[in-house]
Structure 1
């Protein structure tokens, strides 16, 4: 398989993720990502086997890696609908008996038994297992994503400035109003980033952004995805610190939309992340798709809006917005070191892990939640020391996280050694 660097293609386009005067145009390439509700974050399951089945790889015209990347960059699909299958196997450590993540971290959306459809509770659902999502979009301000479960469905709907979330299992709804200008590309009042990142488009965008100068890139045959002809683009990181073995992106041969994203760890085994359309249409969805009225008897929680993105309301989220991911506000935004696949994020929580069991950091102060937090920390990883001091190292098949006792968090899809070295260098 011939391997080449992702240099500009014959048609003059540069690969996605490059910088320069034409950067804005290239970002338009992949600027439209299906807003998948959850981080998931969103199963009467559908038959992915039959949906992806093919009588043979399609016979398509030859294309270079440069031209295929340019095709993705030039894609500007604004309307689509379909089903997405998300399968994640990060190898997360098992929690100790009797401990729940919700209990250790505290209930963001309310206490036990409280019906609340706030999307914050869905951000962790795609961290493991398989999930079926139904998605629809008509431009940047009309979007719908549903997590399909066996006996219930959770939907997140945006129609202009109206944003609704609804959990059919609890008959609870959450409503907020997006401010003017929210459709201009700002994510402050759009679908939570953890949810949007569950789409093949968004994942492909991030992978291509990391590819420049750090990756072997090749077109590795063709495939049939959701009944559509596609080229397979393979990215293989060259940086030894990376825990990513390879990324495969199936690109629609006609319109350049990523249809499938598969990430395999360097350690081998089955994919850590596999996200694919099982059904897709690029026709404009019906306007009624984005219309929502709470069912009779539904408990509706209203969000408030003070116009200040990132400000925390009584419920623990930015007021008037869908919840932002931790560390995304200006004050606590993580610092980034490294480049490409070896990028490491550093976050200063201001609270040491050593005090979490006493009610500092994870979970509410004292009580059973504090004990859960202490058990959770003990289960997550082993203790480590270095020039940075001491802390705990949490490892998965793909991501390593260092929690230092003085409140620093280092995370990245990099080796343990690279993470510890970054922490030492930051002292």
Structure 2
């Protein structure tokens, strides 16, 4: 086993961040706690075997290896588990609440498609799922979510993006604009058409986590492991600040290719991981060309993306502004300081302790039993979902998950982030 490396202090050094300089500071992009939690998800502990003997590397070298990784071809299986401490988002519930989702109606009432990626992939935000993935360059990718008696597949092949839900026998189709606008724009269009709200591979998750690497972060190489039969280094990322609900993030990095093989997010409160996503089988060879072929089965209901656009429930761009990566792009390269206002969103603090502050429409918080607007049974349900708190800001309710917490005050202010309840109350008091 490679010897453990002493923790590297990232404060005052630009080297550790050199490979990820373009990344934004860590910000929790939330409008409501449930959506925020759904975009962050992942978990069990690293299920690995063996301790391979690998050459020593520094944290800086390993981050640069990840940044330089350009794996164009692979196939394999990924197991992803998410335990945010929330009720399951599976099935129709996921479709109904997914931004831009078509409601997941299997009855074919014309209001949406059960195969709409924006709806279906939200299911990854809860429970344990097995994915089959394949890629052959920037124009050919396939992701399938395997169920006991059904399969959901998302296929990008050239100018076409297909999604198919075998349970409902529905397909969803969109076209990229590569032919109309040239070779390079086809790639950009494909990225736009593919859903970006829920990271679904260890590489995507690792890239998001590395955006947090700044002077509030401790990064070190913590030994080695074997994942899916591959030798890997263990990169451990931890907040230095007190008050974050994130305990640590562990990324298993393939020693040969630099490809992240496993991602584990452990909560500061202990217990099982909040998110764990990792390959159980992986092959870096070229997948068969037929892997990316798709023709809708006979009798399948096919929904064209253009026809479904009117059913997006009023969310711009399918709700991507609340979905994660597209929303996060608004913040890239910007310094966030308390009191800075950005499209109604104010970010308090920095690094892992960043707290998003915004106002609910109408300028008032949740109704309370004392107001006479809520039946007693409904009030008891609301009370069971959150903790009542008070301070200089007045009073409010903190809604908690194992990672993201949100304080909604009586005057309609929302404070949300991957921070503790006490940190939210402190932020609300300081804002007064």
Deviation by residue 1:70-126 (Cα, 9 ceiling, x = unmatched) = 11121121222111110111222689xxx9677789994248653421123224322
Q: How far apart are 1:335 and its partner, in Å?
A: 4.4
Q: What SS is found at the alignment partner of 1:401?
A: strand
Change in 2 beyond 3 A, CA 1:419/1:296: same
| Residue among 388, 396, 418 paired with 1:413 | 418
Could you tell me which residue of structure 2 aligns to residue 161 of structure 1?
A: 159
Is the 1:192–1:323 Cα contact (8 Å) retained in structure 2?
A: no
Q: What SS is found at the alignment partner of 2:79?
A: strand
Could you tell me which residue of structure 2 aligns to residue 118 of structure 1?
A: 116
Change in 2 beyond 3 A, CA 1:222/1:104: closer
Partner Cα separation in structure 1 for residue 217 and residue 424 of structure 2 = 21
Change in 2 beyond 3 A, CA 1:347/1:171: farther
Is the 2:59–2:221 Cα contact (8 Å) retained in structure 1?
A: yes
Partner Cα separation in structure 1 for residue 168 and residue 307 of structure 2 = 25
Change in 2 beyond 3 A, CA 1:113/1:190: closer
Q: How far apart are 1:323 and its partner, in Å?
A: 5.3
Partner Cα separation in structure 2 for residue 40 and residue 183 of structure 1 = 28
Is the 1:9–1:67 Cα contact (8 Å) retained in structure 2?
A: no
Change in 2 beyond 3 A, CA 1:261/1:41: closer
Moved more, 295-304 or 86-95: 86-95
Could you tell me which residue of structure 2 aligns to residue 149 of structure 1?
A: 147
How many residues are treated as equivalent by the alignment? 381
Could you tell me which residue of structure 1 aligns to residue 33 of structure 2?
A: none
Could you tell me which residue of structure 2 aligns to residue 363 of structure 1?
A: none
Alignment partner of 1:270 is 2:262: no
Is the 1:94–1:379 Cα contact (8 Å) retained in structure 2?
A: no
Partner Cα separation in structure 2 for residue 218 and residue 239 of structure 1 = 16
Is the 1:347–1:410 Cα contact (8 Å) retained in structure 2?
A: yes
Change in 2 beyond 3 A, CA 1:388/1:193: farther
Change in 2 beyond 3 A, CA 1:8/1:14: farther
Partner Cα separation in structure 2 for residue 315 and residue 119 of structure 1 = 12
Could you tell me which residue of structure 2 aligns to residue 282 of structure 1?
A: 284
| Residue among 405, 408, 427 paired with 1:422 | 427
Alignment partner of 1:18 is 2:25: no
| Residue among 95, 105, 109 paired with 2:102 | 109
Change in 2 beyond 3 A, CA 1:41/1:203: closer
Q: How far apart are 1:154 and its partner, in Å?
A: 0.8
Is the 1:230–1:252 Cα contact (8 Å) retained in structure 2?
A: yes
Alignment partner of 1:172 is 2:183: no
What is the TM-score when the length of structure 2 is the normalising length? Answer: 0.75
Is the 2:133–2:144 Cα contact (8 Å) retained in structure 1?
A: yes
Q: How far apart are 1:40 and its partner, in Å?
A: 9.9
Q: What SS is found at the alignment partner of 1:313?
A: helix
Change in 2 beyond 3 A, CA 1:176/1:296: same
Partner Cα separation in structure 2 for residue 171 and residue 158 of structure 1 = 19
What is the TM-score when the length of structure 1 is the normalising length? Answer: 0.75
Report 1:49-68 matches (<5 A).
54=49, 56-68=50-62
Q: What SS is found at the alignment partner of 1:422?
A: helix
Q: What SS is found at the alignment partner of 1:121?
A: helix
Q: What SS is found at the alignment partner of 1:392?
A: strand
Q: How far apart are 1:248 and its partner, in Å?
A: 1.1
Partner Cα separation in structure 2 for residue 179 and residue 371 of structure 1 = 54
Change in 2 beyond 3 A, CA 1:247/1:104: closer
- The structure carrying a bigger helix percent of its residues is 2
Alignment partner of 1:4 is 2:1: no
Q: How far apart are 1:275 and its partner, in Å?
A: 0.8
Could you tell me which residue of structure 2 aligns to residue 401 of structure 1?
A: 406
Partner Cα separation in structure 2 for residue 356 and residue 184 of structure 1 = 50
Partner Cα separation in structure 2 for residue 106 and residue 64 of structure 1 = 41
Partner Cα separation in structure 2 for residue 7 and residue 244 of structure 1 = 19
Partner Cα separation in structure 2 for residue 372 and residue 211 of structure 1 = 45
Could you tell me which residue of structure 1 aligns to residue 339 of structure 2?
A: none
| Residue among 129, 132, 148 paired with 1:131 | 129
Q: What SS is found at the alignment partner of 1:297?
A: coil
Partner Cα separation in structure 2 for residue 105 and residue 405 of structure 1 = 27
Q: How far apart are 1:60 and its partner, in Å?
A: 0.8
